[in-house]
Structure 1
């Protein structure tokens, strides 16, 4: 089965952005007069909840905090302020994780589509893509599905299923890239093979079921570290390696 598309998650996968999100959440809370603090240990736990507004609502419920009858409106305003701060901070630049730009560039050059399936908001995605790929960053991707485009967020597979529909491809023709357990479950439920690169906020999670777990995608002269699952022959993940992964996965299914 030929490889036809790469499907990328965003936060933690394209770039290590979760710490920046955390800082912006705390700044948004302070700007609104709230003394809420989300240190790294709390934020790591909150990341089990996908979606920024959902994360705030979960925190309010968990801490028994009452912000009034119009809580949903206030939470939406807090989230919008967080996104504004995130967009401002990303203007100073965003470093993609090792191998991401190289692999995306190679895929596009070989006629392999590149798409995004994320539960982050479109404004956050636009800010990241502009910072990492330039003002026309979104044009690098053949299909984009964000949190606003689905009614159910990861670990639900809706984002991946919608991207597959937009591309007109079968899961067996694609490879998904994720960094979290929620993302892994979403991609596998959609039937996709998954290359997982744990991020600083997810490295403690159980990634059983991922087809390949590596430290990152690797760069020439900066080899990746294999963690679990299928092992690429080279020291980096490139298009031929991903094609080999699909072949290995097809052979494994035939033996079952």
Structure 2
């Protein structure tokens, strides 16, 4: 591929290794408050998209009112942040990678299904907000990944053509969103195994973290 002009990062599982804490928070709420007898692995499979979409996939669209889903969402995010806060850290190698990308004049954006409350928790907690010229959150799109809206909007905000963007993702639905946007993708293997990405020809590399030798080439 040609040298990318922009890097688009998912947040959870891609910048930080926190997906276990999201799943743990939802699992606790579903088990203790909503009496759903779901094993942890079943909840893990639903960990994509907006919070109300998670609830609707698990319980059906008519189970909760909008106010009930909002209350459950806030409770979940508070549980997640309380659990993850002591472990808040960038993935290995990412700090240097962001520095090198900025020096190389590669534009960067966040394209995440997270709400602003959680994006702010990460960007400000780790003092990395200045690296990103655009942020697209769950509140900014009508349709979540695998719809391409998140990444297409991020590219538009940066003023970069989709084909000149390289996406960093950790989840199959995110990779599918990148594919639907016409973007190549690097998969960070924090949450899913390689075998779960067999259907996506837009993947150009798998990395364990940002120390991977492959990441010397995009510059």
TM-score by length of 1: 0.75
Comparing 112-121 with 91-100, greater Cα deviation is found at: 91-100
In the alignment, structure 1 residue 36 sits paired with structure 2 residue 27: no
- Coordinate RMSD, CA, aligned: 2.4
List runs of 5+ in structure 2 lacking aligned partners. none
Q: Does 1:195 align with 2:186?
A: yes
Change (3 A) 1:218 1:91: closer
2:156 aligned residue? 165
Highest CA radius of gyration, 1 or 2? 1
Cα gap change, 1:218 to 1:138, in 2 (>3 Å): closer
Q: Partner residue of 1:76? A: 70
Partner deviation per Cα, 1:20-66 (whole Å, 9 max, x = no partner)? 011222344577x433355331123213x52222111211129xxx8
- Contact 2:108/2:132 (CA < 8 Å) preserved in 1? yes
User: Of the two structures, which has the highest relative contact order with CA contacts closer than 8 Å and spacing of 6 or more?
Assistant: 2
How many pairs align? Answer: 217
Q: CA 1:6–1:205 in structure 2 vs 1: closer, same or farther (change >3 Å)?
A: same
On the 8 A contact 2:171/2:191 being kept in 1, the answer is: no
CA contact (8 A) 1:18 1:201 kept: no
Residue aligning to 2:49: 50
Structure 2 residue matching 1:237: 3-state secondary structure: helix
User: Deviation at 1:71?
Assistant: 2.8
Corresponding residue of 1:178: 169
Q: Summarize the alignment of residues 188-227 of structure 1 with structure 2, pairs less than 5 Å apart.
A: 188-201=179-192, 203-207=194-198, 208-219=200-211, 224=212
- Gaps spanning 5+ residues in structure 1: where? 225-234, 244-256
Equivalent residue for 2:9? Answer: 8
Verify: 1:147 aligned to 2:147, yes or no.
no
Measured in 1, the distance between the counterparts of 2:78 and 2:170 equals 25
What's the TM-score once normalised by structure 2's chain length? 0.86
Task: Give 3-state SS (helix, strand or coil) of 2:86's partner.
Answer: coil
